């Protein structure tokens, strides 16, 4: 359950930017291939935010789909899980998107 | 809260927060673009560790596996067999107890135990503290035995040269497909407990197909840490790593 530590880090980043003010909303991007489970982050968020500038803030999670490029035929391949196969049969894929895990935006009161 | 239809405007004046931002129409909230990787702090500390290790010509390897795959048994044997070639020390990670550090010390090797408490993985700050206490000598090898967990340690860079995935035959041949992040993060797989192959339903080809599907560059060395089969290849791989120049910190 690495999501607990990850959510603590999200709250720490938000607090750092709050500079003593309160946070109303946190926009977090979690790629489908990041290995982080959005529901687990939602579950931890309220707990981690308690007693901080982030307490009571709304958590908005943007889930980015996984995309890769086939190293054999250069085709773009959508990825639902952290591995896959191109229609040409090749499994050697270069990830283009989906491994994001970042705080994108904050709304400060 | 920012209203969905609020008439937002961009502007260039400063509030001292140094970020591009917009206000909502009533000026009650400020939207700040952050674009910060959540693992940024850990990754920066890992790079610090990498530089610290490179500066001392110390090779660090991060051993990851499920609980009970045989990491500690493998290390007991490895530190005994390689002790004559280069100095070796071990950082042990477990949620509780120092049993593993005791086992490694009994094998004649320096070991530091980290208890992670509720955390299910080691992170770069824990390893930074342990390295500073361990003070490994120049030209030595540090094995970091991560907390037994095939999920979380995949995401946390510790500053190691490589993640060594230890997997064992009784766990089943579907592990690479079930835990793809770990097999993607690893550089080598030691498939342990090969001595049990005749006694459990494990299809080696299916396992290797799974490894290739997730990470086509991953090398698999079948071993038995208990009986020593295959360990010569593992030791050759370590010697190759020792001989390679350390990557400097970015």
User: Is B250 within the bounds of a domain?
Assistant: no
- B89/B19 same-domain check: no
Q: Are residues B56 and B176 in the same domain?
A: yes
Min Cα–Cα distance to chain A from B21, Å: 9
DSSP 8-class letter at A89? S
Task: Please classify residue B194 by burial: count the beta carbons closer than 10 Å to its beta carbon, then call 0-12 exposed, 13-18 middle and 19+ buried.
Answer: buried
Same domain as B21, residue B116? no
The residue among B15, B21, B34, B119 with the most chain A CBs within 10 A of its CB, best to mutate, is B34
CATH of the domain at B239: 3.40.50.300
Do residues B87 and B12 both lie within one domain? no
CB contact, 8 Å: B57 with chain A?
Answer: no
Question: pLDDT grade, residue B9 (50/70/90)?
Answer: very low
- Binned at pLDDT 50, 70 and 90, residue B33 comes out as very high
Residue A82 touches partner B, C-beta closer than 8 Å: yes
Give the least confident one: A101-105, B25-29, B161-165. B25-29
Full DSSP string of chain B: ---TT---EE-----SS-S-EEE-TTS--EEEEEEEETTHHHHHHHHHHHHHHHHTT-EEEEEE--TTSSHHHHHHHHHHHHTTTS-EEEEEEESS-SHHHHHHHHTT-EEEEEE-TT-SS--HHHHHHHHHHH-PPTT-EEEEE--S-SSGGGG---S-SEEEEEEEGGG-TTHHHHSHHHHHH-SEEEEE-GGGGGGS---HHHHHHHHHHH-TT-EEEE--TTT-TTHHHHHHHHHHHHHSPPPPP-
B120 touches chain A (CB under 8 A): yes
Question: Do B22 and B71 fall within a single domain?
Answer: no
Identify which of B31, B36, B37 has the shortest CB distance to residue A107: B31
Does residue B18 carry a pLDDT above 60? no
Same domain for B46 and B7, yes or no, is no
In the predicted model, is pLDDT for residue B14 greater than 90? no
Same domain, B100 and B19: no
pTM above 0.80, yes or no: yes
Q: How far apart are CA B160 and CA B60, in angstroms?
A: 5
**pLDDT score at B27:** 62
* Residue B1 distance to chain A (closest CA, Å): 6
Chain B contact present for A80, CB below 8 A: no
From chain B, the residues in CB contact with A11 under 8 A are none
Interchain proximity B30–A107, CB inside 8 Å: yes
Out of B35, B181, B215, name the one closest to residue A102 (CB). B35
Give the domain range for residue A52.
3-108
pLDDT at B28: 82
In a domain, B10, yes or no: yes
Residues B235 and B166 in one domain: yes
Write out pLDDT tens, residues B201-239.
999 999 999 999 999 899 999 999 999 999 999 999 999
pLDDT in the model for residue B3: 37
* Domain count along chain B: 2
- Residue B22 with chain A: CB contacts under 8 Å: none
B232 found inside a domain: yes
**Among residues A72, A73, A58, A74, which one has the least CA distance to residue A22?**
A58
Residues B159 and B217 in one domain: yes
Q: How far apart are CA B152 and CA B130, in angstroms?
A: 20
B142 and B167 together in one domain = yes
Q: Residue B25 sits in which domain range?
A: 1-35
pLDDT at B8 over 70: no
- pLDDT of residue B12 exceeding 70: no
Please report which confidence band the pLDDT of residue B4 belongs to, taking 50, 70 and 90 as the band edges: very low
Q: What percentage of residues in chain B have a pLDDT greater than 90?
A: 83
In this structure, the answer to whether residues B83 and B195 fall within a common structural domain is yes
Residue B248 lies in a domain: no
- CA within 13 Å, CB half, A19: 8
B156 Cβ under 8 Å from any chain A Cβ: yes
Whether residues B77 and B160 share a domain: the answer is yes
* B153, B182 Cβ separation under 8 angstroms: yes
| pLDDT, mean of residues B46-72 | 97
Q: How many CB pairs under 8 A join A and B?
A: 95
Average pLDDT over chain B reads: 90
Low-confidence ranges of chain A (pLDDT < 50): none
pLDDT exceeds cutoff 80 at B197: yes
* pLDDT band for position B118 (cuts 50, 70, 90): confident
What CATH code is carried by the domain that includes residue A81?
3.30.2320.80
3-state SS, residue A105:
strand
């Amino acid at each position: 359950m690495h999501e607990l530590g990850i959510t603590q880090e999200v709250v720490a980043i938000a607090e750092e930017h709050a500079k003593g003010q309160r946070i109303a909303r946190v926009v977090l991007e979690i790629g489908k291939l990041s290995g982080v489970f959005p529901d687990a982050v939602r579950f931890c968020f309220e707990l981690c935010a308690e007693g901080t500038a982030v307490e009571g803030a709304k958590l908005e999670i943007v889930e980015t789909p996984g995309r890769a490029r086939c190293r054999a035929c250069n085709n773009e391949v959508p990825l639902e899980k952290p591995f896959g196969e191109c229609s040409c049969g090749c499994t050697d894929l270069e990830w283009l998107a989906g491994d994001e895990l970042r705080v994108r935006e904050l709304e400060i009161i | 809260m920012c209203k969905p239809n609020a008439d937002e405007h961009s502007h260039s004046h400063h509030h001292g927060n140094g970020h591009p931002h917009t206000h909502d129409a009533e000026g009650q909230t400020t939207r700040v673009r952050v674009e910060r990787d959540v693992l940024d702090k850990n990754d920066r500390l890992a790079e610090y560790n990498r530089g610290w290790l490179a500066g001392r010509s110390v090779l660090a390897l991060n051993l990851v596996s499920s609980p009970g795959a045989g990491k500690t048994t493998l290390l007991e044997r490895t530190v005994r067999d390689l002790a004559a070639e280069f100095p070796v020390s071990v950082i042990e990670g477990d949620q509780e107890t120092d049993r593993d550090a005791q086992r490694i010390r009994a094998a004649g090797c320096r070991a530091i135990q980290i208890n992670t408490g509720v955390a299910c993985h080691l992170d770069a700050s824990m390893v930074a503290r342990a390295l500073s206490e361990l003070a490994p000598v120049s030209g030595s090898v540090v094995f970091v035995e991560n907390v037994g967990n095939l999920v979380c340690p995949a995401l946390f860079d510790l500053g190691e040269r490589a993640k060594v995935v230890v997997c064992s035959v009784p766990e089943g041949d579907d592990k690479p497909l079930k835990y793809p992040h770990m097999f993607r993060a690893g550089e080598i797989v030691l498939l342990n407990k090969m001595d049990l192959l005749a006694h459990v339903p494990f299809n080696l080809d299916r396992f290797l197909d799974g490894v290739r599907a997730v990470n086509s560059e991953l090398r698999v060395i079948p071993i038995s840490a208990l009986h020593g089969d295959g360990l010569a290849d593992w030791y050759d791989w370590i010697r190759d790593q020792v001989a390679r120049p350390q990557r400097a910190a970015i």
